[in-house]
Amino acid sequence: MTAAARPKIPLLLLVTIAAGLGALVLVALGHSAAERNLILLCLLLPVAARAGLRLGGSGTGLVVLGAASVAALGWLVWTMPAARAGFTPAFWLLVLGAWTLGWQTCAALSAARPRGLALQRLVGVAVPLLFGAWLLLFWELACRGFAIPQVLLPAPSQVWARILSDWPTLLADFRQTFLQSVLIGYAIGCGSGFLAALAIDRVPFLKRGLLPVGNLVSALPIVGVAPIMVMWFGFDWPSKAAVVVIMTFFPMLVNTIAGLDAAGRMERDLMRTYAASHGQALTKLRLPAAMPFVFNALKINSTLALIGAIVAEFFGTPTVGMGFRISTEVGRMAIDMVWAEIAVAALAGSLFYGFVSLVERLVTFWHPSFRAR
Amino acid sequence: MTAAAVNPVRAPRGTGWIMGHAVPVLAVLAAIVVVWYAGAIFLNTPVQRDMFARAGVTDYGFADLAAATLSQERPVLPAPHQVAADFWKWTFATAPTSKRSLVYHGWITLSSTLAGFIAGTLLGILIAVAVVHSRTLDKSLMPWVVASQTIPILALAPMIIVVLNAVGITGLMPKAAISTYLSFFPVAVGMVKGLRSPDVINLDLMRTYSATPAEVLWKLRLPSSVPFLFTSMKVAIAASLVGAIVGELPTGAVAGLGARLLAGSYYGQTVQIWSALVAASLLAAMLIAIVSLAEKLVLARMGVRP
């Protein structure tokens, strides 16, 4: 890495010292001793941890730093004032100190080179998790501290409360949109795209003609066919599945055609010397070689499918479905319900994508991008 | 994300550009038109039979039926020539300032697309530069940027529009915000790859020159990231257009191609929906062509030989 990649310690120290001085001023102005001690602890911890790390105790130092960081985070969540009045300058200083500690932890963890694959994975998950927790906390703090009206931006805690209280509705929407429109449309769209590519692959003339057209169509705003599909297939899930089919078909077609050409000339010549038939060459060489491309399309489509189904619901639905709920709850200004729906959609989308990636790992384990570093 | 970035299949040796690319593409397009006509006749037949029955016409042959299905007022599937005629009428035969002109609606969509695209590209480049220079950001922020690509961001569109409207921000800005949101991910991911694309040997050379990080960025990393930038910009501008169109849906069909789609679906004007779709597709193709042209010019200027 370049010199710029090193964490800038002097700047952090300056921030910490400035914050410490601020705390002292606050104490002089008459804040309670307990508050002062906690603030100082929070401000001094990063410095102490940093010093400890530099002295050499890397493994233990990291664990201590991580534990301190999580403890500070938890303590902040625990003591967070409910109303704007509770957000004194001392509290913001506390937040600043804890954030400095959190950032130091992230920096130390990313710079660490733990031995062993399991430890590396653990660190690889811990850093974004800590960062994400801080983002959520900042969101919550901003909503409470600046008294942002719920109509504009609900706090994560309000969204969570809404998820807990309205989960039957969310579940029904999830079933309608994800389990019916998305999954069925995704399966039909990807399957027919794949089969069409296999058929087209036999005709080079068609292949040369279809690839530019397919590439163009993949870039077009296909969601626009949603109103037409709603007219053709009615309000219920088949129209949404139809939109998903059209959206997922072309990426699959284009990627599979490109993937079928991915096998090397040498390997193909080898198949010829074996006098392999078209089918044998396809199943033993070209399809396995095409798998990275096919999975690329499957991953692109997993996102597209959810988008297509939700947007199609803006054009007319029965009174259930994620897109329907989002558009009606926006109209009623129940923004926390909208965020709850988005949280469910995000979770479903990520899990779907993660599942496809997992299958990809199992199928294309030989690909360079999955080899252990 | 890389849907639009698949390399074209090479034509066999000995065939020129015309036989290798133009003829096959034209053949495929002609086949699509033929299938479209067949579909229009097939899908419009039931309605047309009803119409004939109601009008008392009984002795009609296939030719009459086919001709009638291709000239309905509100067909289930309009024929290509109907769409073309409608598109022509509202694009070229109408004053661009008229509220019914497709040029007017297209311009509104285009302006928010471009505003969002430019903001999104800049934001993406900024994030990529920060991520490349800070190991901590790379480890903590980048996973979230990647994960956020897997969530249906477009679902946020109506909320962003309505909420920004509630604060008093209307018009171009909310739609551009959605376009920005959609277009900065591809640019950020592509640029992180691009800024990391210089070889170690080149980076080492910069070290021997004792170049500062800023100098390495300007003289080595940015120039070598340009091909990646253009590839991701092509994806970003397509996403940006989709964002602008979807952003126009919840505003109650005021203006823009998305509003045309919504109005068409409210009033059952299928021909209008299709011509708005054609306009949106032409806009997308044009935008991508412009980015590709800029890519060719810039890369040629930078000395890249094809």
Quick check: is A268 in a domain? yes
B159 interaction partners in chain A (CB closer than 8 Å): 326, 330, 335, 338, 342
Cβ <8 Å between B139 and A327: no
**Residues A171 and A126 reside in one and the same domain:** no
pLDDT over 80 (residue A90): no
Segment B223-243 shows an average pLDDT of 88
Q: Within this chain, do residues A283 and A194 fall inside the same structural domain, yes or no?
A: yes
Residue A31 belongs to a domain: yes
**Class in CATH terms, B102-301:** mainly alpha
A206 in the same domain as A125 = no
Computed over every residue of chain A, the mean pLDDT equals 80
Q: Which of A92, A113, A148 is the last residue of a domain?
A: A148
Q: Where are the domains of chain B?
A: 8-77, 102-301
pLDDT greater at residue B119 or residue A180? B119
- Selecting from B7, B27, B138 the residue whose C-beta is nearest the C-beta of A258 gives B7
For chain A, positions 12-31, list CB contacts with chain B under 8 A.
none
Would an 8 Å CB–CB cutoff place B292 in contact with chain A?
A: no
Q: Which helix (H) or strand (E) holds A316?
A: none
What is the spatial distance between Cα B161 and Cα B244, in angstroms, rounded to a whole number? Answer: 11
Residue ending a domain, among A148, A181, A206, is A148
Give the chain A residue nearest B145 (alpha carbons).
Answer: A128
Question: Same structural domain for residues A258 and A142?
Answer: no
- Contact between chains at B133 and A342 (C-beta distance less than 8 A): no
Interface check for B208 against chain A (CB to CB < 8 A): the answer is no
Counting one residue from chain A and one from chain B, the pairs whose CB atoms sit within 8 A come to 219
Position A113 confidence tier, pLDDT thresholds 50, 70, 90 = confident
Task: Pick the residue from chain B with its C-alpha nearest to A103.
Answer: B136
Return the pLDDT at B3.
42
The alpha-carbon gap from B30 to the nearest alpha carbon of chain A, in Å, equals 11
Q: Which residue of A has its CA nearest to B276?
A: A224
Picking from A92, A125, A148, the residue at the C-terminal end of a domain is: A148
Examine the domain organization and report whether A363 and A226 are in the same domain.
Answer: yes
Check which CATH number belongs to the domain holding A192 and give it: 1.10.3720.10
Whether A155 is in a domain gets the answer no
Position A245 scores a pLDDT of 92
Do A257 and A144 lie in one domain? The reply is: no
Complex ipTM: 0.77
Q: How high is the pLDDT of residue A1?
A: 40
Residues of B with Cβ-Cβ distance to A342 under 8 angstroms: 151, 155-156, 159
Q: If you write DSSP's letter for every residue of A235-250 in order, what string do you get?
A: SSHHHHHHHHHHHHHH
Residue A184 has pLDDT above 90, yes or no: yes
Whether residue A310 is predicted with pLDDT greater than 70 in this model: the reply is: yes
Is residue B264 within 8 Å of B245, Cβ to Cβ?
Answer: no
Chain B hits for A205, CB-CB cut-off 8 Å, are: 24, 27
> What integer pLDDT is reported at residue B53 of this predicted model?
79
Give the rounded percent of residues in chain B with a pLDDT score beyond 70.
91
Residue A342 has pLDDT above 60, yes or no: yes
Q: Are A181 and A242 in contact (CB under 8 A)?
A: no
Closest CA to B235 of B298, B299, B186: B186
Where does the pLDDT of residue B39 fall: very low under 50, low under 70, confident under 90, or very high at 90 and above?
confident
The pLDDT assigned to B126 comes to 93
Using a CB-CB distance cutoff of 8 angstroms, which residues of chain B are in contact with residue A5?
A: 133-135
Asked whether residue A336 is assigned to any structural domain, the reply reads yes
Among the residue ranges A209-218, A335-344, B27-36, the one predicted with the least confidence is A209-218
Residues A191, A136 share a domain: no
Residue A189's pLDDT is 94
Count of domains forming chain A: 2
% of chain B residues with pLDDT over 90: 9
* Residues of chain A positioned with their CB less than 8 A from the CB of B76: 231-232
| A134 and A183 together in one domain | no
For residues A285 and A226, membership in a common domain is answered with: yes
Per-position DSSP letters for B25-83, written without gaps between them = HHHHHHHHHHHHHHHHHHHHHHHHHHHHHHHT-----HHHHHHHHTT-SS-SS--HHHH
Residue A194 confidence (pLDDT): 93
DSSP per-residue letters across A69-120:
HHHHHHHHHHH--SSGGG--HHHHHHHHHHHHHHHHHHHHHHH---SSHHHH
Structure tokens at A190: 């990807």
Residues B189-232: tens digit of each pLDDT: 889 888 988 888 988 999 999 988 888 998 889 888 888 888 88
Is A251 in Cβ contact with B21 (below 8 Å)? Answer: no
Q: What is the mean pLDDT of residues A344-350?
A: 87
Q: Which member of A213, A228, A311 has the closest CB to residue B28?
A: A213
Compute, in degrees rounded to 10, the torsion defined by CA atoms B24, B27, B32, B37.
180
Give the pLDDT band (50/70/90) at residue B124: very high
Q: Which of A23-27, A69-73, A336-340, B178-182 has the lowest mean pLDDT?
A: A23-27
Assess whether A179 and A96 both reside in one domain. no
B154 vs A310: CB contact, 8 Å cut-off?
Answer: yes
Residue A281 lies in a domain: yes
Tell me if B25 and A208 make a contact (CB, 8 A cut-off).
yes
Q: Which residues between 48 and 87 in chain B have a beta carbon less than 8 angstroms from any beta carbon of chain A?
A: 76
The minimum CA-CA distance between A28 and chain B, rounded to whole Å, is 36
CA atoms of A296 and A299, how far apart (whole Å): 5
- pLDDT, tens digit (0-9, with 9 covering 90-100), for B3-33: 444 444 555 555 666 767 788 888 888 888 8
Is A157 a domain residue?
Answer: no
Is B216 touching A (CB cutoff 8 A)? Answer: yes
Same domain, A10 and A133: yes
Do both A197 and A341 map to the same domain? yes
Mean pLDDT, range A153-173, rounded to an integer: 89
A303 sits in which H/E element: helix A287-313
Domain range enclosing A139: 3-148
Q: Which helix (H) or strand (E) holds A338?
A: helix A335-363
CB contact under 8 A, B159 and A335: yes
CB–CB of A128/A136 below 8 Å?
no
pLDDT tens by residue, B94-107: 777 777 778 888 88
